[in-house]
């Protein structure tokens, strides 16, 4: 089974943000509640910088909905074509 960080939707969100897939995952968790405190593993100063930079990743509502589905939290809302 592939890791969620390898899922095409996560990779697309990361590419759109100029972020890593792991940063997208952390940003998704942080977006759920302002009181969430993440303690991600950090094995180097570069990794620490990457984790801190997650605070600058902003996920739009459509991306959040897709990631919620990946997490098993529901179906994305259907929208009418423009």
**Is 80 part of any domain?**
no
**Is 75 part of any domain?**
no
Question: CA separation (Å) from 41 to 48, 59, 62, 72, 77?
Answer: 9, 22, 28, 24, 33
Which pLDDT score is estimated for 74? 64
- Count: domains in the chain: 1
Which pLDDT score is estimated for 82? 46
**Is 81 part of any domain?**
no
- The tokens for 4 are 């969620």
pLDDT in tens, 19-46: 999 999 999 998 887 788 888 888 899 9
Q: Domain containing 42: what range?
A: 4-70
Residue 10, number of CB atoms within 10 A of its CB: 22
**Is 35 part of any domain?**
yes
* Inter-residue contact 10 to 21 (CB < 8 Å): yes
Average confidence (pLDDT) over 48-73: 90
**Is 82 part of any domain?**
no
Average confidence (pLDDT) over 70-75: 75
Which pLDDT score is estimated for 36? 84
One DSSP character per residue, 36-53 reads: --------SHHHHHHHHH
**Is 15 part of any domain?**
yes
* Inter-residue contact 24 to 41 (CB < 8 Å): no
């Amino acid at each position: 089974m592939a890791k969620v960080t390898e899922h095409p939707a996560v990779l697309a969100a990361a590419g759109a943000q100029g972020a890593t897939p792991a940063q997208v995952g952390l940003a998704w968790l942080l977006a759920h509640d302002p009181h969430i405190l993440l303690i991600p593993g950090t094995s180097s100063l570069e990794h620490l910088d990457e984790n801190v930079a997650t605070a600058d990743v902003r996920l739009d509502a459509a991306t959040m909905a897709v990631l919620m589905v990946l997490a098993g939290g529901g179906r994305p809302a259907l929208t009418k074509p423009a």
